[in-house]
Amino acid sequence: MVLMQDAKEEIRSRLSVEDVIGDYVELKRAGRNLKALSPFTSEKTASFMVSPEKQIWHDFSSGKGGDIFTFIMDVEGMTFREALEHLARKTGVDISMYDAPGQKGVADKKRRLMQANKLAQNYFQHSLLKNQHAVEYVFYKRNLNRKTVKDFGIGYAPDSKSALVDYLTKKGFTPRELGDAGLTNRFGGDLFKARMMVPLMDTLGETVGFTARIVDDADDTGPKYLNTRQTLVYDKGRHVFGLSQAKDQIKKLDYAVVVEGNLDVMSSHQVGVTQVVATAGTAMTENHLKTISRFSNNIRLAFDMDAAGLAAAERAVELAQKTGMEISIISLDEDVKDPDELIQKDPTLWQKAIDAHQPAVDWLLGQYEAKLNLSTAAGKREYSNVAVKLINNLADPVVKDHYYKLVSERINSSIDALKDKSSVAKAGMSRRYRKINDAAKSDPDTNGYEDSILAILVAYPKLRSKLKALNPSDFTGESREKVVAALKTDPSLLDGHDIINILKLRAEGRYEGWPETEVKSELDTLLGKLESNKLKTQKISLQIALKDAETIGDLEIVAELLKQIKQIDKEISK
C-alpha cells in the first residue's frame, strides 16, 4: 500500500485536477475555483466545483467528490487500480516501479498485451477490405453500415496459418506475448481464421480480446463463435460488450439494456438505441452486474423467451439482490427470435419494447401464470413453488409483502399458507446447504483446483516463483499444506512420496502438450480462484464477528469490522 501511495503522489505531481476534469466537461472560472455542469446528472445550473488550489472536486448535484483518481473511477466506472493505470499511461509514469515484488512488471505486461490486441484489430480491419466474401457478409448479410463497422472496429481474420503471427512478430512481439494475449493456438499459429472479428473493449475503448464468427455457415470445422480465452487483460466473467460505446447514454438515461448477442448490440447502436450492452455469450454473473452498476443500478434484460431465458431471468433476480440492482424484463414479439431480428423488422418496435419493460418478478410470475392451470391444485402448487422461491430471493420486506399479497390473490390462498411454505423451503435449503458443505469437506475433488495448482507447481519448476505469494494455510487439508511448505523450502523433501506421483500424473493427464504460456495462464486463473475463496472465507469470519459486536453494542468494533468487510469486497470485485 505504501508503494501504491508513492505511485499516486508521482502521478498527482504531474497532473492537475483541472486538466483531468477538463477533458470531460467545460470548466469556467468562478473566483478561486472552477465551475461546470455535472457529468453525473442532467442538471441545468452548474454545481460541479473544482478547486485548483486544493486539487479536489465536488459535485453538489450528485454528492460525489474527491481527487483525480476518484473522478476517473466515477466517470469511467473503473476500479482504483484501473484508474491508476489509466492516469499512469497519460503521464508516462511507470507504476511497475511501485509494485510489490510479486507484482513487478504486471502493468508493463498488460500494456504490451493491449498493444498486441490493438495492432491485431488494425490488421483485421485492413484484411476485411481485401476480402470480398467477408465484405458481403459484414455489410450485406449482417446489415452493418460503415459507421458501425468503424465504431466497433469490425474486421476479418484471413484463412491463414500464421499471417497475424508473422505480422505481429515483425512488430517486435514474442511468441510468448502473443500467447499471453490469447491470439495464438496451442501450436503457436493464428487462433482466428476465416472469421468476422469483433473486438472486445474495456470501458475506455481499449481492445482486450476478440469474439470471432464464421462467415460461411456451411463451415462445420469449428464452433460458430470463438472467443479470446481468459488473459491478464480479458476476464469473460466481468467483461461487458459494448460498454465503452454505451456508458454515456446509460448514465444519461439511468438504465442499461442487456441483450444476449454482440450483433444485437451493434444493430441497436446502429439505429440510435445506444444504451445497449451484452454479456458476450456468457451467462450473467455478479461481476457483470457490478461492472454495469458503475454507470446505473437499473438493468433491463432482453433474453430469449424460452426455458433458458426464464432460468436466466430467475438467476438475474437472485444476483440483483446481492448487488442492489433493479432488474426488469423486455418482452419481444413472438415472431422474432432476438433484438437484431426485431430491429431489421422495424427499429421503432425495439425502443417501444424497451419502454414497455416489466419488473422481473412480475414478468416471471406472468410467464408461469400463462403456462400453468391455476384452477387446479397441481397448478397452484407449482406456481406457488416458483413464487416462494422468487420472494425468498428478495431483500426488502415491504416488497416481499407486496408479492405475498399478489400471489395469494392469484391462487386464492392465504398469505400465511405462502409464508409457511416459504419457511419449509428455507429449512430445506438450509439442510441441502449443510449436506453440500459436509460433502465439500469430505470430497477431495471439491478442492480439485487446489490440486491443479499443486500439480502445475510440481511439474513446472519454472513457475514456482508464484510460491512467494502463497502460504500453506491457503490450502485445504494437511497433505496439501505439506506440499506447499516443502515446495517453498526444499522440494527434495517430497521425493518418493505418493502424493507427488499423484500430482505429476494429474499434470500429465491435463497439461501434456500444452505450451508453457497456456499452463502459466491456467495457473494464474487458478490462483485467482484460490485468492477469491480465501477472501470470501475471511469475509464470513468478519461477518460473524460483526454480528457479535452489534449484539453487545460496541460501535467502535462495528465500524472497524465494516471497514474491513468493505475492503475485502473491493478486493473480491477487482
Q: In the structure grid, which three cell numbers stand for residue 178, read together?
A: 502473443
pTM of the model: 0.65
Q: Lowest mean pLDDT of 66-70, 452-456, 528-532, name the range.
A: 528-532
Residue 345 has pLDDT above 50, yes or no: yes
In this structure, the strands spanning 56-59 and 298-302 are unpaired
| Residues, the chain | 574
Gap between the Cα atoms of 354 and 502, Å rounded: 55
Q: Lowest mean pLDDT of 243-252, 279-288, 303-312, 523-532, name the range.
A: 303-312
Per-residue pLDDT averaged across 355-364, rounded?
92
Q: pLDDT tens digits, residue range 532-573?
A: 888 887 888 777 777 666 555 556 676 777 888 888 877 776
Whether 79 and 290 have beta carbons less than 8 Å apart is answered as no
pLDDT winner (highest mean) among 75-79, 103-107, 245-249: 245-249
Alpha-helix residue ranges (DSSP H) falling in 48-174: 68-76, 80-91, 106-129, 132-136, 146-151, 163-170
Q: In the structure grid, which three cell numbers stand for residue 202, read together?
A: 474495456
Which of 231, 415, 258 has its CA nearest to residue 328?
258
Residue 234 has pLDDT above 50, yes or no: yes
Q: What's the pLDDT at 139?
A: 94
Q: In the structure grid, which three cell numbers stand for residue 429, read together?
A: 435449503
Q: pLDDT tens digits, residue range 300-330?
A: 999 876 667 777 888 888 888 777 889 999 9
What is the Rg, in whole angstroms, of the alpha carbon atoms belonging to the chain?
A: 26
Residue 203 has pLDDT above 50, yes or no: yes
DSSP annotation of 376? S
- What mean pLDDT is reported for the chain? 84
> How would you classify residue 112: left for phi > 0, otherwise alpha for psi between -120 and 50, otherwise beta?
alpha
Gap between the Cα atoms of 488 and 503, Å rounded: 16
Residue 488 has pLDDT above 70, yes or no: yes
Whether 86 and 204 have beta carbons less than 8 Å apart is answered as yes
DSSP annotation of 224? S
Q: CB neighbours (10 Å) of residue 324?
A: 11
Q: pLDDT tens digits, residue range 154-190?
A: 999 999 999 999 999 999 999 999 999 999 998 999 9
Alpha-helix residue ranges (DSSP H) falling in 278-396: 286-293, 307-323, 339-345, 347-355, 360-371, 377-392
Q: What's the gap between Cα 105 and its chain centre?
A: 24
Q: CB neighbours (10 Å) of residue 84?
A: 22
Q: What's the pLDDT at 4?
A: 61
Per-residue pLDDT averaged across 131-158, rounded?
94
Phi and psi torsions of 226, nearest 5°: -135, 125
| Three-state DSSP state, 302 | strand
Q: In the structure grid, which three cell numbers stand for residue 224, read together?
A: 460458430
Q: In the structure grid, which three cell numbers stand for residue 198, read together?
A: 469483433
Percent of the chain with pLDDT over 90: 31
